[in-house]
């Protein structure tokens, strides 16, 4: 439980500097429990607090944890070079809260991307020590063969990687599609593993992270949702 001044609360949620938030409040843009609040020095219990700003209802969140169904042609980097940032698919104030992708997907990779402003969560999810399985569906240029699957399972040597890298599981889904599960998150790993195994990845989609399935979230491409407590626990313990 924590009580905070209203201007501080809005600031913590990414709506601007404390001064700017105090002005929004004074201008009558914020209401709580159906009533406009114009005094920014009133304190509110933050736990479960709902407020309306510019007519939109927001719930106070100490941290943000969300899942995005990433479309192609969006970049995960802070300073994108050729495409818009994935952050541009989220409410504007999330960038001010420093919400960032948990790991990266290539600009042309689609599917499940976690995002958060909780450094400890990002660190834990990205740690190679946790061996979090990530499931990808790769479309291939040449047909998928039992030999290709066998090579990916036994391990392939990538340039710059001291040891060979193997899929945790790998299975053919269609003549030109395979599902591959990896526990590492090396640069372009799926694409490079497929190339090293003698094929070429023409499209890539991440469908699952640590037991969290994109299908179950029912998000259209470009849509996102907050993770609930159970989903967060699944990711942090599973
Ligand atoms: N492997 C890749 O090659 N690209 C991604 O975006 C993710 C995994």
Per-residue pLDDT of the chain (238 residues; tens, 9 = 90+): 689 999 999 999 999 999 999 999 999 999 999 999 999 999 999 999 999 999 999 999 999 999 999 999 999 998 888 999 999 999 999 999 999 999 999 999 999 999 999 999 999 998 888 899 999 999 999 999 999 999 999 999 998 899 999 999 999 999 999 999 999 999 999 999 999 999 999 999 999 999 999 999 999 999 999 999 999 999 988 6
Residue 106 CA, ligand 1 centroid: distance in Å: 6
Among 3.20.20.10, 3.30.70.1560, 3.40.50.620, 1.25.40.10, name the CATH number for the domain at 133-209: 3.30.70.1560
The reply to whether ligand 1 has any atom less than 6 angstroms from the CB of 191 is yes
Buried b or exposed e, range 214-223, using 16+ CB within 10 angstroms: beebebeeee
Whole-number Å distance between alpha carbons of 222 and 90: 9
- Minimal-distance CA residue to ligand 1 atom 4: 188
pLDDT value, residue 127: 86
| pLDDT tens readout for residues 123-144 | 999 888 889 999 999 999 999 9
Among 193, 217, 10, smallest CA distance to 114 is for 217
Can you read off the two tokens belonging to residue 150? 């066998």
**Could you write out the DSSP letters of every residue in 138-176?**
EEESSPP-HHHHHHHHH-B--TT-SS-B--SEEEEEETT
Q: What is the position in ligand 1's atom list of the atom closest to the CA of 191?
A: 3
Whether the CB-CB separation of 124 and 236 falls below 8 Å is answered with yes
Per-domain residue ranges for the chain? 3-59, 65-126+215-234, 133-209
Classify strands 134-140 and 201-209 as parallel, antiparallel or unpaired: antiparallel
Can you read off the two tokens belonging to residue 114? 């976690």
Can you read off the two tokens belonging to residue 68? 């995005």
pLDDT value, residue 112: 98
Q: What is the CA radius of gyration of the chain?
A: 21
pLDDT value, residue 160: 87
Residues 6+ away with beta carbon under 8 Å from 12: 4, 60, 97
3-state secondary structure of 234: helix
Whole-number Å distance between alpha carbons of 62 and 75: 26
Residues identified as active-site: 106
Specify the CATH architecture of the domain 65-126+215-234.
2-Layer Sandwich (3.30)
pLDDT value, residue 129: 86
Task: Find the farthest-apart pair of alpha carbons in the chain and give their distance in angstroms, rounded.
Answer: 69
pLDDT value, residue 237: 81
- CATH match of 3-59 with 3.10.290.10: yes
Q: What is the position in ligand 1's atom list of the atom closest to the CA of 206?
A: 7
Residue 185 CA, ligand 1 centroid: distance in Å: 8
The reply to whether ligand 1 has any atom less than 6 angstroms from the CB of 105 is yes
Q: Do domains 3-59 and 133-209 have the same CATH topology?
A: no
This prediction's pTM:
0.94
Whether the CB-CB separation of 37 and 30 falls below 8 Å is answered with yes
Whole-number Å distance between alpha carbons of 182 and 176: 19
Compute CA 149 distance to the chain's CA centroid, rounded to the nearest angstrom.
Answer: 28
Q: Which residue has the tokens 């470009």?
A: 222
pLDDT value, residue 236: 87
Q: What is the position in ligand 1's atom list of the atom closest to the CA of 185?
A: 8
């Amino acid at each position: 439980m924590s009580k905070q001044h209203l201007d501080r609360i809005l600031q913590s949620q990414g709506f601007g500097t404390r001064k700017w938030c105090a002005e929004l409040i004074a201008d009558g843009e914020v209401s709580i429990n159906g009533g406009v609040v114009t005094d920014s020095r009133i304190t509110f219990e933050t736990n479960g607090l709902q407020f309306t700003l510019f007519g939109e209802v927001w719930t106070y969140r100490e941290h943000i944890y969300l899942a995005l169904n990433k479309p192609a042609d969006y970049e995960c980097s802070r300073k994108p070079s050729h495409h818009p940032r994935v952050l541009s698919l989220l409410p504007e104030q999330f960038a001010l809260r420093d919400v960032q992708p948990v790991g990266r997907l290539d600009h042309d990779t689609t599917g499940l991307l976690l995002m958060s402003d909780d450094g400890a969560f990002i660190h834990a999810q990205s740690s190679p020590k946790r061996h979090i399985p990530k499931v990808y569906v790769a479309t291939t240029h040449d047909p998928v063969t039992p030999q290709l699957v066998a090579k990916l399972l036994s391990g392939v040597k990538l340039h710059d990687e001291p040891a060979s890298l193997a899929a945790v599981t790998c299975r053919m889904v269609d003549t030109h599609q395979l599902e591959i599960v990896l526990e590492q998150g090396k640069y372009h790993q799926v694409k490079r593993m497929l190339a090293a195994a003698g094929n070429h990845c023409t499209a890539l989609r991440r469908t699952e992270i640590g037991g969290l399935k994109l299908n179950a979230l029912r998000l259209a491409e470009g849509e996102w949702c907050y993770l609930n407590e159970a989903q967060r626990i699944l990711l942090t313990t599973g």
